Amino acid sequence: MIRIFEKVITVVKTILGTPADWRLAKPQSPQLPQVSYKLIGPVMAVFTIFVGWFAFSNTIGDGNAAFALFIGSVSIMMMTWSNLLSTRVLPLEQIFGGVDRMYVWHRWLGALSVGAMWFHLEMVDDVKGIRGASRDVADTAEDLAETGSTLLYILVGISLLRWIPTRWWRLAHKLLVLPYAFACWHFYTSTKPYANASFWGSWFTGFMLLGLVAWLYRVVWRDIFRRGRLHRVSHIEIVGNVVTIELEPVGNPMKYQSGQFAFLKVKVPSLREPHPFTIASSPDEQCLRFVIRDLGDWTHRLMTSLAINDRIVVEGPYGHLAPIPNHHVDQVVWIAGGVGITPFLGSSISRPTEDGPTPHLFYCVPSRQNAPAIELLEIADREGRIILHVHASDEKNRIQPDHVINAIGAGNLQNAHIVMCGPDSLVRSMKSGLRRHGARHMHVEGFDIRSGFGPDLSRHIDDALGTQLRRFASKK
């Protein structure tokens, strides 16, 4: 009995996770001073969403009809922008400040659109104005929208809960187009204070069509027809829970810059959904190198299933993280935690020793012996390409802001180019500590495409399902 109770407690603790598992990333504006064009995207999205109030300010109807129609338009416009940001097209990446920020806004706009839709359904009442379609068509569209709202609640809940395995999450994400299409059709056919052929009619109709085209572009064109560049696995090395893979291009090689990342889609059953990883090779190399840690169901299957000569489709590159600045600075500081070393590997290998200040690389790992790419970094240190500082937990040498200050000098911190990549706890503590000492130019790029609430139970669920399937097959 006691053993069963202990197992139940273990399962409950696994499901609940830690407080950090239930924290959502907030939409972030670029830290000043940075190039102001990265604010264009967020400002544009907010403006186009809320300017629609003027379309409904003169609404005549029961209750607060004007606000009810407006909040419905807010829900649709938020879903439209969420679809646009999922395309990862370069112009949007530039005006939002990178794919990482695009996806944070994508998630928040999608989640907030659910709240806006709920308010609309609770507040909407009889509206007097111009019909968008006949009464029968409008009533059918309204019924579809109500059905779509329920489907939206379910699908967004699946998207926000990290318990769900990635391949199920991706399918649920693709199905979000159904409630969006139903809502757009209802909005177009409903009674409003303006005609569909008017300015405001064209405004909203244009955005709704743009949102549907964005979904077709992302799901149909990019996922089915134009999926990326084909590569062949030429080398696999596994150390502990980290795998390093090298890919040879089948055809023309992909052009990229140090610090960028790409999406990998392995042409092997159960590994076909794309996942993002930082490119660890140098742009001067012919092959692509990725250093990947076993963190979930997909990465676990990758480590156990990937073989030499397997084909991988690489989509990218993405990202604007620049380990080496393109302007004069007093010092260059890199702070990496675990596999967060990957953005710095290419620059460490290929950087000319006479090119600006030598970067200080603070590498935080559980153990020096099992640290990914430690041999390459030690060679780069001996060649004078970087100055390596290893902080190993098993040596009781955890990094503190004072380590950085003592290495580069407090006077150089204000004009230092600081780039960080690693666990959120490490990044937050170092950013806070260095900012108190005058650091201004700190750059972080994270590409957690799937974020949400709760611990990641995908591997546990995947293992449990695999066990049940094997038992079922053996019985047959």
Cβ partners under 8 Å of residue 383, min gap 6: 353
Which helix (H) or strand (E) element contains residue 443? strand 441-444
Query: Is residue 359 a contact partner of residue 419, using CB atoms and an 8 Å limit?
Result: no
Q: Write down the pLDDT at residue 344.
A: 86
Query: Is residue 342 a contact partner of residue 279, using CB atoms and an 8 Å limit?
Result: yes
Domains, the chain, ranges and CATH? 27-225 (1.20.120), 229-318 (2.40.30.10), 331-444 (3.40.50.80)
Q: Write down the pLDDT at residue 308.
A: 93
Report helix, strand or coil for 453: strand
CA 405 and chain centroid, separation? 31
Q: How far apart are the C-alpha atoms of 380 and 386, rounded to whole Å?
A: 6
pTM of the model: 0.74
Q: How far apart are the C-alpha atoms of 211 and 84, rounded to whole Å?
A: 6
Q: How many CB atoms lie within 10 A of CB 338?
A: 20
Q: Write down the pLDDT at residue 460.
A: 63
Report helix, strand or coil for 248: strand
Determine the angle formed by the axes of helices 65-85 and 199-215, rounding to 10 degrees: 30
Q: Write down the pLDDT at residue 320.
A: 75
Q: How far apart are the C-alpha atoms of 248 and 288, rounded to whole Å?
A: 7
Tell me which residue of 404, 403, 410, 415 sits closest to 357, measured CA to CA.
415
Helices assigned H by DSSP within 90-237: 90-96, 99-123, 135-160, 166-174, 177-189, 199-215
* Cα 139 to Cα 94, 97, 135, 163, 197, distances in angstroms: 42, 42, 6, 37, 21
Q: Two tokens at 300?
A: 């676990």
Q: Write down the pLDDT at residue 31.
A: 45
pLDDT, averaged in runs of 10, over the chain (476 residues)? 59 59 53 58 94 90 84 95 90 83 86 90 80 88 89 81 72 88 94 93 96 92 80 87 88 84 86 83 85 78 88 86 79 86 82 78 86 84 89 84 83 82 82 82 68 61 59 57
Which helix (H) or strand (E) element contains residue 40? helix 40-50
Q: Write down the pLDDT at residue 35.
A: 45
Q: Two tokens at 289?
A: 């190198």
Q: How far apart are the C-alpha atoms of 476 and 470, rounded to whole Å?
A: 10
Q: How far apart are the C-alpha atoms of 159 and 146, rounded to whole Å?
A: 20
Q: Which residues of 120-153 are buried (b: 16+ CB within 10 A; e: fewer)?
A: beebbeebebeebbeeeebeebbebbeebbeebe
- DSSP type of residue 224: I
Report helix, strand or coil for 294: coil
Q: How many CB atoms lie within 10 A of CB 306?
A: 18
Query: Is residue 357 a contact partner of residue 331, using CB atoms and an 8 Å limit?
Result: yes
Tell me which residue of 325, 390, 308 sits closest to 359, measured CA to CA.
325
